[in-house]
Structure formats: C-alpha cells, structure tokens
Amino acid sequence: MCTGATFSKYKDWNGLMTMKAHTRRWLLAVSVASLLLAILFYMERGAPAAQFTHAVRAAPGLLPHSVPAPEVARAAPAPRPLADPIRERYIVQAASAAEAASAVLRVGGQVTGDLSVIRAVSACLDDSELAALRNAHVARLQVYADAAVTASSVRGSLPETYYPSEVAAKDLQVGGVTGAGVTVAVVDSGLWSEQGPDQSAPGQTRSRVLAQYDVIAASQQVWGLSSTTAATSTVNDTFGHGTHVTSIIASSGVATTGNFQGVAPGVNLVAVRVLDGNGQGSYSNVIRGIQWVILHKPRYNIRVMNLSLSAPPTSAYWEDPLNQAVMAAWNAGIVVVVAAGNRGPTPMTIGVPGNVPYVITVGAVTDAYHPLQTSQYKLASFSSAGPTYEGFVKPEVVAMGGHMLAYAPDNGTLAQEHPEWVTSAFDDFTMSGTSQATAVTSGVAALMLQVSPQLTPDDVKCRLMSGAHPAVNADGTLAYTVFQQGAGLVNAHDATYSTASGCANQGLNIAADLFGGQHFGGRGNYNPKTGEYYIMATTQGQVSSASSGLLGGLGGLIGGLATIVSQVPLVGPVLGGLLWGVAALGDGFLWNGSYNSGDVYNWSGGYNWSSGYNWSSGYNWSSGYNWSSGYNWSSGTASSSGASGINNIPAQQ
C-alpha cells in the first residue's frame, strides 16, 4: 500500500493538471448554460402566443386548497461512505521519466519518486488508474510492481576475525595498500551514528565518510531532500546490516594480532540508506539510491558500489528495473559488486541484481572454524548457484562469508533480536552470508584501484577472476563447478598485480543492452534428459543434439559470430582433452546439482583455465533462444512474492 508523499519535482505538475481539469469543467458548464439560454430565446420568439398562454394556465377546478396532502415519506438510511480505493506502489517506465510522470498524472495517479536513471518514476495507483494507464497509448510504457528486496545475510554465532588474511589483503596492507583515495558506496541500511573504526582511515582523525544519503527519509517528505542536504546529513543504521557490511570493507580497527579488521581500511566511504530497520526495502528506493550514487560519482570519486541485497528474479535480466539501474551504474564506470543470494546450494538460485551478466556476483566460502587452513575451506551451503535463467555462469568469484565478525550497532534490530551474537566489549557482531562475501570483494576491488586507478569495471572483473584460486581435487579436477565457485576464491594480492585483460564480459554490449536494441544469453545450459548442467563451447563442428534445455532451440549461428554451440563433455581428471579435434575448454564441468562439503580441497592459485574464462562470455539473445518450459515470467511486472530474507537461511557456517 502507498503511504509516500508526492515527489516534489512533480508536485507543481500535479497541481497544474488539477487546475487544467477544473478549467475544463468550468468551460463545459458555461457552454451548457449558453445553449439552454439560446433554446429558451428561440421558443419565446417563435412559438404562438395562444399556445404559450395555455401552457401556463391552471387547469379548471384544481384549486390549491383541494390538492391532496402528500404522504409523509420515511427518511431513507444515509448511504455508507465509499472506501477510498487502495493504491499500490509501482514503477512506471516510458521513453523518459517526464513522459512516465505525465502518464501517471493523466490517469489520476500519484508520482512519488524520480527514477530517471531507468527512464521511470515510482508511483501510487489504484486498480482503475492502473487499468487506465495500461490502456493509454504511451511510448515504451512498462509498469512494474515495486518489489521488495532484503539484506542477503545469514545470522549465526561464534566470532572470527581472519578474513583479511584469508583473501591475502593483509599482504597488501603491510605494503601500504589500503584502498586510500578510492571511495566505496555502500547501498544498504545506512551507517551507525557511532561510526567507530569506520569513521577515519588509519593514522587520520578527519572523517572519511564523505557523504550519506537517506532514500527512505527523502521518500517520506513532501519536498524530499535536496542533493546538498542529503549529502551532508547523518543517516543512522537502525538495522545493523549496513554498518556490518561497511566494517568488513573498511574498518580501521586493529586486532590484538596487529592486523586491520577491515579488508581496505584506507578507503573513503559513502553510505546510502535504502533498507529500513528490519532490513527490508523496495525496488524504487534501491533504484533511487543507485541513481544518487551515479550522479555523485565525480564529486566523491566513487569507484566501487556494494550491493549486499537480493530479490528473486521474476523476468529476464534486461527487463528488471533494478537490474537496469545496476547496468547504468556499471556503464557509468562504477565497479558494482553484488551478492549472489542465500538460496543455495541448489542450481539456478542467483538473485536480482546478481543475475546481471556484467557485474561481479559473489558467492560465499567458510573456513569451517579453521582459520587460515585453506584445505578446510568449504563452499557455504547457503551460497546461491548458477546458471542464471539466461544461461550465464554465476557467481564470478567466491569470498569469505561464514561467521564474519565486524563492527555493528549494539542497539540495532539484529543485536536486539540476537544479543548472543554481540561481542559487547567491542560492539562487534557476527553474521554469515553472501552479503559479507560481497563486502570482502568490494574491499579487494578498492585495493586494486588504489594500485591501478586506470582500470575500468571490466578490467577489475577480469583481474579478480584471473587472480582467484579455485577449489580443486587432488587429481587436479575442479572440486566445485563454475556454477558454484565461478573462478574461485578471491585473492587480493594476485588480483591487484594481475596483468590479465579482455577476459570479462566478452561478447556483451552494455550500451546496446541498456538501449534495448540487443540482449544476451550465456553459455550455461541444462540437459533435461540427464538432469545435468553444462557449459556450451564454440566449435567449428555441427550442433550437438544435446544443445537444448535451459536455453533450448539454439540451432544455427548465434549473433552472427559464425560459431556453433555444442555441449562440452566432462573431461575428467585429464584436463585439455580433445573435442572433435579441438582442444577442450577444460572449464566445462557437468553438474547434477548436488552439494558436497565432506572432502578436503586445495584452493589453488596455479589452476590453468585453458579457455581464458570463455565460460563467462555471452551471445546475442536472438529469436533462436526459447525459454525452457516451466519458467514463465510475468509480463512487464516484478513480483515481491518469495523475496529472500535472512530468516529462511541455514544457521551459521
């Protein structure tokens, strides 16, 4: 139900539309009165006098005193007042935000927010207004339900503080690489007013929190918050999740071992509050937060945006309005790091916006309470797995996300509900989830950008993947498939000093994707006959009959690439075998969707991806792609049903 106030930008517009309506009604009344006067004038001049006299003469014998008294009528019961129609929240998209706002106002709806980043506005509409809007002839009109999003965290117990060392960030910190000069925007539940170790970088006293913006407060005010006011106001974190995530990225607190608690303790911070005191938020608020980050990127040198939140996908990635905003941020030069979600370990559980092919989507690993013993690290069972419904391999990488200790409010909702997870002496809190793994990766990205500030988002993604350490068995085969671990566990040192290039987002075109002229599918697929997921390779042979299933009906050439799609078979312990006389990719791995956490693995930095991460590339989404049966998307609407939350996730790992 809608409770927000009219967005200030369109308030005068709304008044103008109302004034125009009143003017039209007044002109109509004047016209009708003029017409009646003309008719009476004609009757008076043209009708015979006798007829006119007879018309007004009283009938004989019917005197006033002889008129029977009318019956006393019983008073009718007063009608019940009609209930005001219930308005719901929607995102209305058109050729421009102005046209979307105009369309909403024409049908009597209420505009509650500007979402220009995706050519849209947030709005409140009742059923009749919604029907009128859908029937209106508005160019590029799309109407989406303002779906719910939640924080992607798992709650647990037993504090642990080793994650900067477990991803090799400590090695860089010792050498003076702390993320200095790089700004990370955390779009979450805000930042605790008692900023503690998040307030200043090591050796400094000035605040490194450059700006805070409260989208929720802005949406509840008639005139909203101006960019200047919002950028200097204090935004408190009443939930605790945003502060926890921020602390993993940036805490400058020093542990008893002498190590920093955060991955990138020298970064600057921007806090954008889009989740409320219960860790819940709406699509429109998250989009407005992302839009604010894009607009203020030059002012605050925002290079990384952390999105530790998730919602279930309900449409193709390019049709989702939150995904469109995320793609706009990536296209604006911001490295977007996103949580995979906590609906694992089953396949095809990647959430929104983690299903965007361009961004860095992160799964979670736990050290199983054996810190710094890499052979004990396990893929967390809650970590969502790919492929996406469009066939993209996700996540790109995994990071530490089990029982993560970080600074957080001791009076927030999370702390009040679970005081046993609070380390009261230090205001630290323990949580698990892909939210926390995302924060670790955002910190690593900041370290990379301090050393190599010229890197583009695609460059950062490529080097993160090239520097990652996948889990492998003793015989050299992958312990987890690319659908579960991507390129492997992030390694800050190896990613920062990698020289890899051109290995991310190959075959994709984000500008065309945003414009709507071209969309893409990935190389993950599903064989319904065997129940296995696999990677499709490009060869010069003929199309395999197995290339059906998830993406179905792929016959012929894809996107004019003059390559043919076929299934990559399981190559077993010997990588680099032959496929029709062509070297096998070595990254193809059949997966029956099962999860195994009982073996001992080696997270190896020497694994040879012989294909250069071709499994992460994409192809033009042409008419040859057909949705597989059982995945029917709602047309043009995002539903809030089934939103992932922190309460339906397994216990701490």
Least confident stretch, 3-7, 42-46, 298-302, 639-643: 639-643
Of residues 514 and 627, which shows the higher confidence score?
Answer: 514
Give residue 37's pLDDT.
Answer: 55
Please give the share of the chain, as a percent, with pLDDT higher than 90. Answer: 46
Q: For residue range 589-604, what is the model confidence (pLDDT) as tens digits?
A: 456 666 665 555 566 6
Nearest to 346 by CA among 384, 398, 311: 384
Residue 452, in any domain of the structure: yes
CA–CA separation, 85 vs 109, rounded Å? Answer: 12
Residues 110 and 138 in one domain: yes
- Other CB atoms within 10 Å distance of the CB of residue 130: 19
**Cis peptide leading into residue 345 (ω within 30°):** yes
What is residue 565's predicted lDDT score, i.e. its pLDDT?
A: 32
Amino acid at 88: E
Q: Which CATH number belongs to the domain containing residue 476 in this structure?
A: 3.40.50.200
Q: Which of 103-107, 165-169, 198-202 has the lowest mean pLDDT?
A: 198-202
pTM of the model: 0.75
204 lies in the same domain as 255: yes
* 471 occurs within a structural domain: yes
3-state percent helix, strand, coil for the chain, nearest multiple of 5: 30, 20, 50
Q: Is residue 188 annotated as a catalytic residue, yes or no? A: yes
CA atoms of 168 and 162, how far apart (whole Å): 10
Q: Within 13 Å and on the Cβ side, how many CA atoms surround 274? A: 29
Lowest-pLDDT choice from 63-67, 265-269, 385-389:
63-67
Residue 260 domain flag = yes
Indicate whether 187 and 111 sit together in one domain. Answer: no
Marked catalytic residue, from 188, 214, 367, 428: 188
Highest averaged pLDDT of the listed ranges 210-224, 440-454, 537-551, 556-570: 440-454
Question: Any catalytic annotation for residue 22?
Answer: no
Tokens encoding 252? 């400058």
- In the predicted model, is pLDDT for residue 55 greater than 50? no
Q: Are residues 425 and 480 in the same domain?
A: yes
Residues 249, 122 share a domain = no
pLDDT number for residue 576: 24
Mean pLDDT is highest, among 29-43, 347-361, 571-585, for 347-361
Classify residue 39: in a domain, yes or no.
no
Instruction: Name the residue with higher pLDDT: 290 or 76.
Output: 290
User: Among this protein's residues, is 241 annotated catalytic?
Assistant: yes
Same domain, residue pair 362 and 297 = yes
Lowest mean pLDDT among 334-338, 411-415, 461-465: 411-415
pLDDT band at residue 532 using 50, 70 and 90 as cut-offs: confident
Does 387 sit behind a cis peptide bond, omega within 30 degrees of 0 on the bond before it? Answer: yes
- Catalytic residue (choose from 383, 435, 611, 617): 435
530 versus 135: which is more confidently predicted?
A: 135
Establish if 24 belongs to a structural domain: no
Domain that residue 371 falls in: 149-514
Check whether 52 has a pLDDT greater than 50.
no
Q: Same structural domain for residues 221 and 120?
A: no
The pLDDT tens digits of the residues spanning 115-126 come to 999 999 999 999
Residue that is last in its domain, among 146, 180, 198:
146
Q: Which of the four pLDDT bands, split at 50, 70 and 90, describes residue 577?
A: very low
169, 192: one domain? yes
Per-residue pLDDT tens over the stretch 241-300? 999 999 999 998 888 888 899 999 999 999 999 999 998 999 999 999 999 999 999 999
Domains contained in the chain, number: 2
Q: What's the chain's average pLDDT?
A: 75
Identify whether residues 178 and 98 lie together within a single domain. Answer: no
Give pLDDT, residue 2: 76
Same domain for 106 and 183? no
Are residues 287 and 276 part of one domain?
A: yes
**HEC readout, 192-227:** CCCCHHHCCCCCCCCCCEEEEEEHHHHHCCCCCCCH
Q: Distance between CA 210 and CA 299 in Å, rounded?
A: 10
Q: What's the rounded mean pLDDT across residues 101-117?
A: 95
Comparing 67-81, 142-156, 173-187, 198-212, the range with the smallest average pLDDT is: 67-81
What is residue 543's predicted lDDT score, i.e. its pLDDT? 30
pLDDT at 558 over 60: no
* Under 8 Å between Cβ of 382 and 344: yes
Give the best-scoring range by mean pLDDT among 58-72, 165-179, 250-264, 573-587: 165-179
Query: 345 lies in a domain?
Result: yes
The larger pLDDT score, comparing residue 52 to residue 435, is at 435
Find the range with the poorest average confidence among 347-351, 552-556, 623-627.
Answer: 552-556
Q: Give yes or no for a contact between 399 and 366, defined as CB atoms under 8 angstroms apart.
A: no
Residue type, 39: I
CATH number at residue 125: 3.30.70.80
Q: Is the pLDDT of residue 158 over 70?
A: no
- Report which residue type is found at 163: Y
Residues 473 and 347 occupy one common structural domain: yes
Q: Which of 132-136, 168-172, 420-424, 583-587 has the lowest mean pLDDT?
A: 583-587
Residue found under tokens 């710094």: 372
Position 652 in a domain: no
Nearest to 110, CA basis, from 22, 7, 12: 7
pLDDT at 359 over 60: yes
Query: Choosing from 152, 241, 251, 616, which is the catalytic residue?
Result: 241
